[in-house]
């Protein structure tokens, strides 16, 4: 199977490419330098040339706060870019996985969101990702929409790495305690996406590690698992104002995943533990390499 990956240099994209290769599938990896998803002609020409069987569309405008002022930029990538990818995929009869987000919900729920609960994005980023979902549904005859949340992995910037860095610089940290979600290891998510793309079980899925916590709980768990001593103080969202509103509760239920015969992603804390071991090894290998240069 030949799978085209957009955003292949991103945090999730790199793990998707690795997961495809591990499963002996051909990964056609594209980043913003090799495929400008906002250029419809270039996208259609590229797809025509390589004729992929499937597309995992990881490329996105993800700067949540910046999107509030750069509305056109977010719209161009998340809406027009997604339209271009989906139209080109349909022209070559390829399946599409569109990666979406918990930000399509307003966060006022009190129980995990179902795949078919009403979407009500709070900010520009959530709105553009929701618009991308709607275009995917209307323009593709073979689509999967996978919403995820609170992602972290070996590549790129994320909450886990930020916490570890801050803990090495300070004795005390403040972390928001009134937002709840499900931390998600990109490696687990990538493995699920590769499993999904090999089926015809089209539709909307929620792909997060199981269980839930606040950012404060997540930070505490990171330090416990990494055996780092630092004092963590709980903050409210109001204590830490940001340009874009955050959903207070964005836990995603995984009914579609279970009823379609897929195994739920592992518990978030277990995945965090695995990740921290991997990260330590990754950093150690990197410093060894640098010392030999």
Instruction: Identify whether 14 is part of a domain.
Output: yes
Indicate the pairing of strand 26-29 with strand 95-101: unpaired
Question: Dihedrals φ, ψ of 239, to 5°?
Answer: -70, -20
Instruction: Identify whether 44 is part of a domain.
Output: yes
d(CA 219, CA 118): 30
Question: Exposed, middle or buried: residue 174 (CB in 10 Å: 0-12, 13-18, 19+)?
Answer: middle
- Sorting pLDDT into bands at 50, 70 and 90, what band is 287? confident
CB distance 143 to 86 below 8 Å: yes
Radius of gyration (C-alpha) of the chain in whole angstroms: 19
Half-sphere exposure of 277 (CA within 13 A, CB side): 5
Residue 112 has pLDDT above 70, yes or no: yes
Instruction: Identify whether 102 is part of a domain.
Output: yes
Q: Residue 257: which CATH number?
A: 3.40.50.720
pLDDT tens digits, 144-195: 999 999 999 999 899 999 999 999 999 999 999 999 999 999 999 999 999 9
- For 19, the domain range is 2-155+182-211+248-266
Q: Name the residue among 201, 181, 206 with its Cα closest to residue 264.
A: 206
Query: For the chain, what percent of residues have pLDDT higher than 90?
Result: 94
- Sorting pLDDT into bands at 50, 70 and 90, what band is 198? very high
How many domains, in total, are found in the chain? 1
Instruction: Identify whether 118 is part of a domain.
Output: yes
Residue 285 has pLDDT above 90, yes or no: no
Residue 289 has pLDDT above 90, yes or no: no
Residue 211 has pLDDT above 90, yes or no: yes
Q: Say which residues have a Cβ less than 8 Å from residue 291's Cβ, sequence separation at least 6.
A: none
d(CA 165, CA 111): 33
Instruction: Identify whether 279 is part of a domain.
Output: no
Mean pLDDT of the chain: 96
**Which pLDDT belongs to residue 90?**
98
- Sorting pLDDT into bands at 50, 70 and 90, what band is 6? very high
Residue 293 has pLDDT above 60, yes or no: no
Angle at 145 between CA 90 and CA 194, to 5 degrees: 85
CB distance 205 to 257 below 8 Å: yes
- Sorting pLDDT into bands at 50, 70 and 90, what band is 292? low
**Which pLDDT belongs to residue 291?**
58
Residues 257-264 have a mean pLDDT of 97
Instruction: Identify whether 177 is part of a domain.
Output: no
pLDDT tens digits, 34-70: 999 999 999 999 999 999 999 999 999 999 999 999 9
pLDDT tens digits, 120-143: 999 999 999 999 999 999 999 999
**Which pLDDT belongs to residue 286?**
78
Q: Answer positive or negative: Cα dihedral of 124, 125, 130, 136.
A: positive
Q: Answer positive or negative: Cα dihedral of 185, 157, 240, 148.
A: negative
- Sorting pLDDT into bands at 50, 70 and 90, what band is 219? very high
Half-sphere exposure of 289 (CA within 13 A, CB side): 6
**Which pLDDT belongs to residue 224?**
97
Instruction: Identify whether 123 is part of a domain.
Output: yes
Instruction: Identify whether 125 is part of a domain.
Output: yes
Residue 2 has pLDDT above 70, yes or no: yes
Catalytic annotation present for 61: no
d(CA 275, CA 288): 20
Q: What do you get for the CA distance between the two ends of the chain, in Å?
A: 38
* Catalytic site residue from 61, 113, 125, 152: 125
Query: For the chain, what percent of residues have pLDDT higher than 70?
Result: 98
- Sorting pLDDT into bands at 50, 70 and 90, what band is 282? confident
């Amino acid at each position: 199977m030949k799978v085209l990956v957009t955003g292949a240099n991103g945090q999730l994209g790199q793990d998707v490419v690795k997961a495809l290769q591990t499963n002996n599938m051909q990964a056609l990896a594209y980043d913003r330098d090799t495929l400008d998803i906002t250029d419809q002609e270039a996208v259609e020409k590229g797809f025509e040339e390589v004729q992929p069987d499937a597309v995992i569309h990881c490329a996105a405008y993800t700067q949540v706060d910046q999107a509030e002022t750069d509305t056109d930029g977010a719209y161009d990538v998340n809406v027009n870019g997604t339209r271009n990818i989906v139209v080109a995929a349909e022209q070559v009869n390829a399946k599409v996985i569109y990666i979406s987000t918990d930000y399509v919900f307003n966060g006022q729920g009190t129980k995990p969101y179902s795949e078919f609960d009403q979407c009500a994005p709070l900010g520009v980023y959530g709105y553009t990702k929701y618009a991308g979902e709607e275009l995917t549904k209307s323009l593709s005859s073979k689509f999967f929409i996978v919403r995820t949340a609170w992602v972290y992995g070996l590549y790129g910037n994320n909450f886990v790495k930020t916490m570890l860095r801050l803990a090495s610089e300070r004795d005390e940290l403040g972390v928001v305690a009134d937002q709840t979600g499900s931390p998600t290891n990109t490696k687990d998510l990538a493995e699920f996406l590769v499993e999904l793309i090999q089926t015809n079980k089209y539709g909307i899925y929620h792909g997060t590690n199981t269980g839930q916590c606040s950012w404060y709980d997540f930070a505490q768990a990171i330090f416990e698992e990494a055996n780092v001593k630092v004092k963590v103080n709980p903050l409210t969202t109001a204590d830490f104002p940001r340009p874009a509103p955050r959903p207070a509760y964005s836990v995603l239920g995984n009914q579609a995943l279970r009823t379609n015969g897929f195994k739920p992603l592992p518990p978030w804390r277990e995945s965090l533990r695995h990740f921290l071991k991997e990260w330590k090894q990754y950093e150690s290998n990197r410093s060894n390499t640098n010392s030999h240069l």
